[in-house]
Amino acid sequence: MAENPAYPVGLRLTGRRVVVLGAGQVAQRRLPALIAAGADIHLVSPAATPSVEAMADAGELTWTRRAYEPGDLAQAWYALIATSDPEANTAASAEAEANRVWCVRSDDADAATAWTPATGHSEGVTVAVLTTNAKGRDPRHTAAIRDAVVEGLRDGTLVAPHHRTRTPGVALVGGGPGDPDLITVRGRRLLAEADVVIADRLGPRDLLAELPPHVEVIDAAKIPYGRFMAQEAINNALIEHAKQGKAVVRLKGGDPYVYGRGMEEVQALAEAGIACTVVPGISSSISVPGAAGIPVTHRGVAHDFTVVSGHIAPDDERSLVDWAALAKLRGTLVILMGVDKIGAIARTLMENGKGADTPVAVVQEGTTAAQRRVDATLATVAETVLAENVKPPAVIVIGEVVTVRPDSSSEASE
């Protein structure tokens, strides 16, 4: 084979005759893309996989049920040769060469006149990768490059600033529990496309370091609010930047609608006539216990879990939580923002019937490199948190699921 590199080209096959010889696993993988391209597909094979048969039954291709015969490639624009008969493949390849039909061979790529690239798709972009080295083609290397490029397109890291798809308005993005890898693909892409990012302290801060230098990053906690409440100042900042035609991302920890005051911001933006989209995030209420090895439900132990905000003490008149009712639940209690009030919370639960020996785990900085877990009981958790110097952000888990371990099994009946 000549050592010159292959010439990359995109084939427009709509309505054009494409001949596929063989209907095994190779054809099964390649046919969907040919169908999507609108090709006039003629399949020649005595048998086919169930998936290929289904394509024929659906009218997506024409199937001639026999082995290859000379002349089958007449009028073809493109051919895929993938039979299990090497002699038939060689003969068909020769026919393709004689008729100037671009031909792909599954059994001998070097004898073919065309290669099928590793392809991927993202946001209207098709990625096609061909690689060669001193030993010839390397499909695994090709696929790895394809995957890296597609991932970069999906998370926005490969989009040059002047080619970004800028959508003026505001996106409320849930950043997840802390690990930057746990943000959604859409959330990461919106960050890469942003002009302004207004970030919470609990958002995945590591992601901010990846942003291009032109992106303005604003710490929500440091917005001067003067006579306004802090939340009002954040709302005003979102509106001000959006009205300048900028793409604004409001980066929050966890999910925007789980104790994130997301709806307050959506309402303020709606009143100002600003377009807003909300991108869900992984809530720390489930992910952080899981990262610490705690299932919030477990067969025979807990069939339900309740998530509660602990930032307001049980005896505070502003509290909307029925702590007496929570104390009577058999399931798991997950308390967010409750480190500072854990003493009052534990005392109230015990006063209302929750056992003093109920297991408790406090997970600080969950899913990050600084994660640590402190175990206690309802009776000892307040002093344990103080002694261990546990600081927010932390998730508190109360219930028997705290004692479940990978090497243990529950003997309780469901």
* Catalytically annotated residues: 200, 222
CA angle 183, 268, 232 (to 5 degrees): 90
Instruction: Enter the tokens of residue 342.
Output: 């854990």
In sequence order, what E strands does 22-150 have? 40-44, 62-64, 78-81, 102-105, 118-122, 125-129, 132-133, 136-137
In 10 A of CB 349, how many CB atoms?
Answer: 24
For residue 10, what are the contacts with CB-CB under 8 A and spacing of at least 6? 126, 128
**Torsion sign (Cα): 365, 370, 376, 381:** negative
CA dist 42 and 352 (Å) reads 75
User: Are 237 and 218 within 8 A, CB to CB?
Assistant: yes
Residue 35 and residue 41 in contact, taking contact as beta carbons nearer than 8 Å? yes
At which residue do the structure tokens 């029925």 appear? 322
Residue 5 near residue 132, CB atoms below 8 Å:
yes
